[in-house]
Homo-oligomer: A and B are copies of this chain.
């Protein structure tokens, strides 16, 4: 089998890898139908996050179960399944509180840009669809695995409710699906921060009512102008830099809600500054598993079409080009077909 490995900055190779097999009785092995490149893959790809050695890549996946370990009870060979980027037993206290991305047995999936994947804790990690979904829904189902689940968490953690004024900082795929999620949760005014025409268009299609091209202080000023000087109820920070985080916090109204879902890189919150904003803050690796059943339903009933974030489709063996296209912002998000 060939799989994707990052060797160093901008050095992605598609090379021979050992064939995954059942290692633990709780494992499943699945044949990947679709996978993709995540915005978070770009941090190590760009050399902004160190790697210790050759790093197998990929954590968004859907596919058909090939084999399960002896302890797996709910997932069966032949089923079409989607799983989170974080494995979970779905039975530990953290899971039961809805934070499966902090499961006490959590592992982060990292070999999904490949034709075959071993998934630990299959019963708690994977969700099977009723029957085999139609081909055209596959990209949207793949999206539930991380990018939509993360956008959904961003909107949920930012307390988006019917009637909310929402700001989304970041026009990557997560930000765009944060817009879609905010719309689903009843957000009334949804302001997408973007200066990229194609992304602006998709943001509007997903439910953005306003687009703001300004960034940083100018972006904050614009949001304050648009909200009678008050700021937004909910701000979704979908980038992970100090600049975007500061912008997000300053765009919220006093006592508003700010979520952050990109792993923060070099970000610090100054206690005293944050204090006087009175904002609620929640971030973290999205507990996608909590949302998967609902998100899969929304996709299967065609109420949402998150797969539209994939604007480039490549055969898996061209994975290096997929990274390049996203790195150069030629593509919002690249779909890979094994």
Residues of chain A having any CB pair with chain B under 8 Å: 93-94, 97-99, 101-102, 104, 157, 228-230, 240, 245, 253-255, 260, 263-272, 274-285, 287
Contacts and interface: CB of A to CB of B under 8 A. Distances in A.
B270 A278 contact: no
Contact of A277 (B228, B275, B284): B284
B269 A269 contact: yes
Q: Which 9 A-B pairs have the closest CB atoms?
A: A264-B271, A267-B271, A278-B284, A102-B254, A99-B255, A269-B269, A281-B281, A280-B282, A93-B230
A87 B176 CA distance: 40
Nearest to A240: B271
A124 to B, nearest CB: 16
15 contacts: A93-B228, A99-B255, A102-B278, A104-B229, A255-B287, A264-B271, A267-B270, A267-B272, A268-B271, A269-B269, A278-B282, A278-B285, A279-B282, A280-B280, A280-B281
Contacts of A93: 228, 230, 253
A81 B98 CA distance: 45
Copies in the complex: 2
Contacts of A266: 271
A283 B230 CA distance: 19
Nearest to A93: B230
A98 to B, nearest CB: 7
Contacts of A254: 94, 97, 99, 102
Most buried by B among A275, A276, A281: A275
Nearest to A230: B93
A328 to B, nearest CB: 26
Most buried by B among A157, A260, A267, A287: A267
A40 to B, nearest CB: 12
A268 B267 contact: no
B98 A255 contact: yes
A235 to B, nearest CB: 14
Contact of A275 (B253, B276, B278, B285): B285
